[in-house]
Amino acid sequence: MPKNDELRVIASKAKQSPKVLEAEITLPDGSQRRNKKHELLEIKNLSVSVACKIVLDNVSMSVKEGEVVGLLGPNGSGKTSLGLTLMGHPRYQVTAGKVMFAGKNLLAMKPEERAKAGLFMSFQNPLEIQGVPFGKFLFTAYKEVKNPNISAKEFIALLREKCQFLGVEQSFVERSVNEGFSGGEKKRAEILQLAILEPKLAILDETDSGLDIKATKIVAQAIKKISQINPKMSILLITHYEKFLNQLKPDRILNIEKGMVK
Ligand SMILES: Nc1ncnc2c1ncn2[C@@H]1O[C@H](COP(=O)(O)OP(=O)(O)OP(=O)(O)O)[C@@H](O)[C@H]1O
Ligand SMILES: [Mg+2]
């Protein structure tokens, strides 16, 4: 893991080279004006407790549409807690603050409503679900979140296309969700979910952890590809590793320490 000083250098580099987030709009008179991309996620003064412990302390931050934001911080600083709170995990009690997502009050929404609104999180430690084929799991999720009317035939075609796109073997989706998957396969399974669900905001929680150098590169390239074909998709990229950040080139990097985002 890079040391704090190294992370600060990466953070300052990212700040120096922000990706352009403003689009040119041509007005009827031929002149041009800039159209500032709007905030997709706005967190204001968010405090969260879990098991009587404060895990997020007065956090304010935002993510714009199409923006890739890196989130760095030492172990136990609250990165996963932030993601799970946004997803609506019942253990994480919001004690103060406000969160707006795509113009709606996120905190008033149930977890499934948040997913339908376009929020997605890939887990740091994906769970195994015995007896549920991964393809069936994806089909159910797709129908719930994206399109309840898609037929099995149409979905199989979509799944085949996404597997090819990510270089994932078809047999992968016939196995039970994550059961017996290697660490690297579990992370690729998370990315396949991302490719299928195409959310508005993807919270990727250490998608690179436990991967060897080659697999890290494959996963980074896959995320890049998904982000290129979905330029409006925003990504909150939680990681400890400089290499992964360098491969994905976030627009901004935020640091979290002891539950406080700086
Ligand atoms: N369900 C829980 N019960 C008790 N403590 C919890 C729970 N969930 C999180 N915590 C505590 O909250 C703090 C923040 O944890 P979190 O998982 O958010 O850290 P993190 O920044 O994701 O760390 P890492 O880099 O190791 O993944 C830790 O001290 C952790 O023990
Ligand atoms: Mg974590």
Spacing of C-alpha 119 from chain mean position: 8
What is the position in ligand 1's atom list of the atom closest to the CA of 82? 18
HEC per residue, the chain: CCCHHHHHHHHHHHHHCCCCCEEEEECCCCCEEEEECCEEEEEEEEEEEECCEEEEEEEEEEEECCCEEEEECCCCCCHHHHHHHHHCCCCCEEEEEEEEECCEEHHHCCHHHHHHCCEEEECCCCCCEEEEEHHHHHHHHHHHHCCCCCCHHHHHHHHHHHHHHHCCCHHHHHCEECCCCCHHHHHHHHHHHHHHHCCCEEEEECCCCCCCHHHHHHHHHHHHHHHHHCCCCEEEEECCCHHHHHHHCCCEEEEEECCEEC
- Tokens for 185, please give them: 């396969």
Alpha carbon nearest to ligand 1 atom 31, residue: 76
pLDDT, tens only, 145-180: 999 999 999 999 999 999 988 888 888 899 999 998
Instruction: For residues 41-56, give the mean pLDDT.
Output: 96
Does the structure show a pLDDT above 50 at 114?
Answer: yes
pTM, two decimals, is 0.86
Instruction: For residues 96-115, give the mean pLDDT.
Output: 97
Q: Quickly count: other Cβ atoms within 10 Å of residue 110's Cβ.
A: 9
Residue 52 Cβ < 6 Å to ligand 1? no
Q: Which of 46, 47, 48, 53 to mutate to test the pocket of ligand 1 (most atoms within 8 A of CB)?
A: 53
Does the structure show a pLDDT above 80 at 30?
Answer: no
Domain containing residue 127: 4-261
Read off the CATH number of the domain in which 189 is found: 3.40.50.300
Residues near ion ligand 2 (CB < 5 Å) are 79-80, 124
- What's the pLDDT score for residue 26? 53
What is the position in ligand 1's atom list of the atom closest to the CA of 84? 18
Domain count, the chain: 1
pLDDT, tens only, 226-249: 999 999 999 999 999 888 888 999
